[in-house]
Structure 1
Protein backbone atom coordinates (compact mmCIF):
# COMPACT_ATOMS: atom_id res chain seq x y z
CA UNK A 1 0.00 0.00 0.00
CA UNK A 2 1.21 3.49 -0.83
CA UNK A 3 2.17 5.50 2.28
CA UNK A 4 0.85 8.67 0.59
CA UNK A 5 -2.72 8.04 1.68
CA UNK A 6 -1.88 9.44 5.13
CA UNK A 7 0.56 12.16 4.05
CA UNK A 8 -0.15 15.85 4.56
CA UNK A 9 1.29 16.63 1.09
CA UNK A 10 -0.64 14.02 -0.94
CA UNK A 11 -2.97 16.47 -2.69
CA UNK A 12 -0.11 18.68 -3.96
CA UNK A 13 2.62 16.07 -4.47
CA UNK A 14 4.02 15.49 -7.98
CA UNK A 15 5.14 11.95 -7.17
CA UNK A 16 1.71 10.97 -5.82
CA UNK A 17 0.17 12.43 -8.98
CA UNK A 18 2.47 10.16 -11.01
CA UNK A 19 1.42 7.11 -8.97
CA UNK A 20 -2.27 7.97 -9.47
CA UNK A 21 -1.72 8.12 -13.23
CA UNK A 22 -0.16 4.66 -13.14
CA UNK A 23 -3.31 3.41 -11.40
CA UNK A 24 -5.52 5.29 -13.89
CA UNK A 25 -6.97 7.16 -10.94
CA UNK A 26 -6.00 10.77 -11.63
CA UNK A 27 -8.24 13.40 -10.06
CA UNK A 28 -8.54 16.53 -12.22
CA UNK A 29 -10.02 18.73 -9.47
CA UNK A 30 -6.90 18.60 -7.30
CA UNK A 31 -4.93 21.65 -6.23
CA UNK A 32 -2.00 22.72 -8.38
CA UNK A 33 0.66 20.03 -7.92
CA UNK A 34 3.75 21.93 -6.83
CA UNK A 35 5.36 19.85 -4.09
CA UNK A 36 8.37 17.73 -5.06
CA UNK A 37 9.14 15.20 -2.31
CA UNK A 38 12.65 14.16 -1.36
CA UNK A 39 14.11 10.64 -1.48
CA UNK A 40 11.08 8.63 -2.52
CA UNK A 41 11.23 4.89 -3.09
CA UNK A 42 8.72 3.58 -5.61
CA UNK A 43 8.07 -0.15 -5.69
CA UNK A 44 6.55 -1.72 -8.80
CA UNK A 45 5.05 -5.18 -8.33
CA UNK A 46 4.43 -7.33 -11.38
CA UNK A 47 1.38 -9.57 -11.10
CA UNK A 48 0.19 -12.12 -13.61
CA UNK A 49 -3.34 -13.47 -13.84
CA UNK A 50 -4.03 -15.88 -16.68
CA UNK A 51 -2.40 -14.23 -19.70
CA UNK A 52 -2.64 -10.67 -18.33
CA UNK A 53 0.17 -8.81 -16.59
CA UNK A 54 -0.65 -6.08 -14.08
CA UNK A 55 1.72 -3.53 -12.56
CA UNK A 56 1.07 -2.21 -9.05
CA UNK A 57 2.85 1.05 -8.22
CA UNK A 58 3.36 2.11 -4.58
CA UNK A 59 5.53 4.58 -2.70
CA UNK A 60 7.14 2.73 0.19
CA UNK A 61 9.47 5.44 1.54
CA UNK A 62 9.60 9.22 1.35
CA UNK A 63 11.75 11.64 3.35
CA UNK A 64 9.08 14.33 2.95
CA UNK A 65 6.31 12.20 4.50
CA UNK A 66 4.35 14.09 7.16
CA UNK A 67 1.70 11.92 8.76
CA UNK A 68 -1.85 13.19 8.72
CA UNK A 69 -4.09 10.26 9.70
CA UNK A 70 -7.27 10.10 7.63
CA UNK A 71 -5.87 12.27 4.81
CA UNK A 72 -7.00 9.60 2.35
CA UNK A 73 -10.64 10.55 3.02
CA UNK A 74 -10.10 13.96 1.38
CA UNK A 75 -8.38 12.26 -1.59
CA UNK A 76 -11.51 10.31 -2.63
Structure 2
Protein backbone atom coordinates (compact mmCIF):
# COMPACT_ATOMS: atom_id res chain seq x y z
CA UNK A 1 0.00 0.00 0.00
CA UNK A 2 1.03 3.62 -0.24
CA UNK A 3 1.99 6.02 2.53
CA UNK A 4 0.04 9.17 3.50
CA UNK A 5 2.09 11.52 1.35
CA UNK A 6 1.56 9.38 -1.73
CA UNK A 7 -2.17 9.11 -1.03
CA UNK A 8 -2.45 12.89 -0.56
CA UNK A 9 -0.64 13.46 -3.84
CA UNK A 10 -2.98 11.07 -5.64
CA UNK A 11 -6.03 12.77 -4.09
CA UNK A 12 -4.81 16.15 -5.33
CA UNK A 13 -3.92 14.84 -8.79
CA UNK A 14 -7.46 13.45 -9.11
CA UNK A 15 -8.93 16.91 -8.58
CA UNK A 16 -10.17 16.29 -5.04
CA UNK A 17 -9.14 18.58 -2.22
CA UNK A 18 -6.99 17.62 0.74
CA UNK A 19 -7.33 19.52 3.99
CA UNK A 20 -6.16 19.23 7.55
CA UNK A 21 -8.78 21.74 8.75
CA UNK A 22 -10.79 20.11 11.51
CA UNK A 23 -12.91 23.09 12.59
CA UNK A 24 -16.56 22.14 12.26
CA UNK A 25 -17.64 25.77 12.09
CA UNK A 26 -15.92 26.04 8.71
CA UNK A 27 -17.75 23.14 7.08
CA UNK A 28 -19.66 24.35 4.07
CA UNK A 29 -23.05 22.76 3.38
CA UNK A 30 -23.42 20.77 0.18
CA UNK A 31 -19.83 19.50 0.10
CA UNK A 32 -19.16 15.82 0.69
CA UNK A 33 -16.39 15.34 3.23
CA UNK A 34 -14.52 12.06 3.43
CA UNK A 35 -11.79 10.98 5.80
CA UNK A 36 -9.62 8.23 4.32
CA UNK A 37 -8.15 6.15 7.13
CA UNK A 38 -7.73 2.68 8.52
CA UNK A 39 -9.94 1.35 11.32
CA UNK A 40 -6.97 1.46 13.73
CA UNK A 41 -6.90 5.26 13.41
CA UNK A 42 -10.41 5.47 14.92
CA UNK A 43 -9.86 3.07 17.82
CA UNK A 44 -9.29 5.74 20.49
CA UNK A 45 -11.16 8.54 18.75
CA UNK A 46 -14.82 7.61 19.26
CA UNK A 47 -15.88 11.08 20.45
CA UNK A 48 -14.28 12.76 17.43
CA UNK A 49 -15.81 10.11 15.15
CA UNK A 50 -19.33 10.69 16.52
CA UNK A 51 -19.00 14.46 16.12
CA UNK A 52 -17.82 14.03 12.53
CA UNK A 53 -20.60 11.58 11.66
CA UNK A 54 -23.19 14.03 13.05
CA UNK A 55 -21.69 16.69 10.76
CA UNK A 56 -22.07 14.43 7.73
CA UNK A 57 -18.42 13.40 7.40
CA UNK A 58 -17.80 9.90 6.04
CA UNK A 59 -14.97 7.63 7.19
CA UNK A 60 -13.84 5.33 4.39
CA UNK A 61 -10.86 3.10 3.75
CA UNK A 62 -8.26 4.30 1.24
CA UNK A 63 -9.33 1.36 -0.92
CA UNK A 64 -12.58 3.23 -1.66
CA UNK A 65 -10.62 6.08 -3.22
CA UNK A 66 -8.34 3.78 -5.19
CA UNK A 67 -11.25 1.68 -6.47
CA UNK A 68 -13.10 4.85 -7.47
CA UNK A 69 -10.04 5.91 -9.48
CA UNK A 70 -9.66 2.52 -11.15
CA UNK A 71 -13.38 2.35 -12.03
CA UNK A 72 -13.32 6.02 -13.07
CA UNK A 73 -16.44 6.72 -11.01
CA UNK A 74 -17.29 7.22 -7.38
CA UNK A 75 -17.99 3.90 -5.70
CA UNK A 76 -20.77 3.43 -3.13
CA UNK A 77 -19.65 4.22 0.41
CA UNK A 78 -21.30 1.26 2.19
CA UNK A 79 -18.68 -1.38 1.44
CA UNK A 80 -15.81 0.88 2.53
CA UNK A 81 -17.25 2.62 5.62
CA UNK A 82 -15.38 2.18 8.86
CA UNK A 83 -16.14 2.93 12.50
CA UNK A 84 -14.30 2.52 15.80
Determine if the TM-score, normalized by the shorter chain, exceeds 0.5. Answer: no
Higher relative contact order (CA closer than 8 Å, sequence separation 6+): 1
Higher helix share: 2
Give TM-score, length-normalised by structure 1: 0.23
